[in-house]
Amino acid sequence: MNSVTRPASTTLAEVPMQPASFDIWSKKYQLKTVHGDVVDTDIEAMRTRVVDALIEVDTFPSEEDREHWRNRFMFAMRSGAIPAGRILSNAGAEAHKPKTSTINCTVSGTIPDSMLGILEKATEAGLTLKSGAGIGYEFSTLRPSGSIVAGAGASTSGPLSFMDIYDRVCATVSSAGSRRGAQMATFDISHPDVEAFIQAKREDGRLRQFNCSLLITESFLDAVEQDADWPLVFPVLPAEASLLDLNDPNQVVWREWPNHDDKYLVSADGLVACKIYRTVRAQQLWDTVMKSTYDFAEPGFILIDRVNEMNNNFWCESIRATNP
């Protein structure tokens, strides 16, 4: 069988830019001045800007060596290697937008179950979104709706109402720029407000700045398979501790929790006492997830046990959220 060798002079033709593709490139990645004047005249100009910025990061023994690697970088981009969106948009653009980031994706620190902690993380989120990066958070660290707020003489409206705040922060910040903000909300499948989270996007216009995903555990999947009951739980709050028998498995379960707040009861082996608010059939909860995913394309789900099993940094961190 004869082999066919491509002649050295033959090059692959570049696919012509379609109108929709040009529109996306122009709005998201083409560098312009604050007055809207074009800096990147075409795709090649953008590639040159990005490659020049990347080359500046490294130290080369000679100018000849620098030019060699610059040509290699240009060859890679012309051949289809595409850096992440924030790199295309912001690398080498410091003269026109010095406070932007070349990082696409970030994850917030754990949101504390306090008004101050919630608002501080919302502030951090706003600054992150302003830089052009997306951000993810876990909201199931916030106490369920109806829980007592110590010192306020009132009850909380729950995690979803605070998600609305983050949603508006994102909408407001992104409306000032050219790129829609990207946020991911994760939520534990055992949180008492999980059904409200699953069905949140059925409400017209709500949480439209979020992708939503459930944190699914192996124990929940086992309960679905066995058609068992599934407890919905949250850490025992100080006002409730004296009202519960901490040794009664029908009232309290001891389990891992994302943060060990001083106000929570923590065992010697690091487990947190969690009050059982109610139980549901695991299969029924799973069916609610599947129906909502089919009808509204959300929530998705993350096999969080598997994620942490495969995390190379398992020894120093526990992953609870991701970015879209």
pLDDT digits 0-9 by tens, 268-304? 888 999 999 999 999 999 999 999 999 989 999 999 9
Q: State pLDDT tens for residues 229-261.
A: 999 999 998 778 888 999 999 999 999 898 877
Domain count, the chain: 2
With a CB cutoff of 8 Å and minimum separation 6, the contacts of 32 are 38, 39, 40, 96
Whether 64 and 124 share a structural domain: no
Whether 138 and 248 share a structural domain: yes
SS3 label, residue 153 = coil
Whether 140 and 84 share a structural domain: no
Asked whether the beta carbons of 204 and 263 are under 8 A apart, the reply is no
pTM of the model: 0.82
CB atoms within 10 A of CB 275: 22
Whether 81 and 47 share a structural domain: yes
Label residue 9 exposed, middle or buried (CB < 10 Å: 0-12, 13-18, 19+): exposed
Q: Shortest CA distance to 195 belongs to which of 269, 128, 278?
A: 278
What is the rounded distance in angstroms from the CA atom of residue 126 to the CA atom of residue 162?
14
Selection from 11-20, 125-134, 176-185 with the highest mean pLDDT: 125-134
Label residue 308 exposed, middle or buried (CB < 10 Å: 0-12, 13-18, 19+): middle
Q: Is position 5 within any domain?
A: no
Query: Where is the domain boundary, 47, 63, 90?
Result: 90
Residue 69's domain comprises 19-90
Residue 307 in tokens: 């994620």
Q: Is position 1 within any domain?
A: no
Q: Is position 11 within any domain?
A: no
Q: Is position 291 within any domain?
A: yes
Which residue type occupies 258?
Answer: P
Pairing of strands 211-216, 183-188: parallel
Residues across the chain:
324
Q: State pLDDT tens for residues 28-65.
A: 899 999 888 999 999 999 999 999 998 988 888 889 99
Helix-then-strand count for the chain, H and E = 11, 10
Label residue 14 exposed, middle or buried (CB < 10 Å: 0-12, 13-18, 19+): exposed
Q: Is position 48 within any domain?
A: yes
Q: Is position 96 within any domain?
A: no
Whether 239 and 171 share a structural domain: yes
Whether 256 and 174 share a structural domain: yes
CB atoms within 10 A of CB 104: 17
Whether 77 and 120 share a structural domain: no
Is the pLDDT reported for residue 13 higher than 70? Answer: no
pLDDT score of 7? 43
